[in-house]
Amino acid sequence: EAAMKAGADGVHLGKNDMPVDKAREMAGNGFIIGGTANTFEDISRLAAQGADYIGCGPFRFTTTKKNLAPVLGVEGYRQLVAGMKAGGIALPTVAIGGICLADIPEILSTGVSGIALSGSILRAADPVAEMRKIAALVFGM
């Protein structure tokens, strides 16, 4: 509700937030709704509820979240992406949680659609320079 009032294009719902299908009833089909997942069961549930994308993590321990779900690591992402393919789930999946610049190539090799970073950028001595390095690595800029 707050995201709609603010004029946002979408919202990301954590595991303890309202279910995606309830948010979809409130917001309609034109509103982007993503959800947090840590297991294939989470992904299946979010897909069945109509999520537009999955935020999947954490990759490793992160200081930006309390009460972390189990760490996935590279192999966890590989398994989840393989499970999604086998299960016919074709949602964009974004890796998140404790990711730093050096992790990006290996994480992207797992088949995830993208990455989300916050702490590594905000803690950098020069956040703008760090963001440029990330963009160069991801987009070949």
Residue of 70 and 18 predicted with greater confidence = 18
Residue 45 pLDDT class (50, 70, 90 cuts): very high
What does pTM read for this prediction?
0.89
Residues 119, 5, 7: CA angle, nearest 5 degrees: 65
Residue-wise DSSP of 31-47 = SEEEEEESSHHHHHHHH
What's the CA gap between 101 and 130, in Å, rounded? 8
In 3-state terms, what secondary structure has residue 63? coil
Identify the H or E element spanning 23.
Answer: helix 20-27
The reply to whether CATH 3.20.20.70 applies to domain 2-139 is yes
Task: List the domain boundaries for the chain.
Answer: 2-139
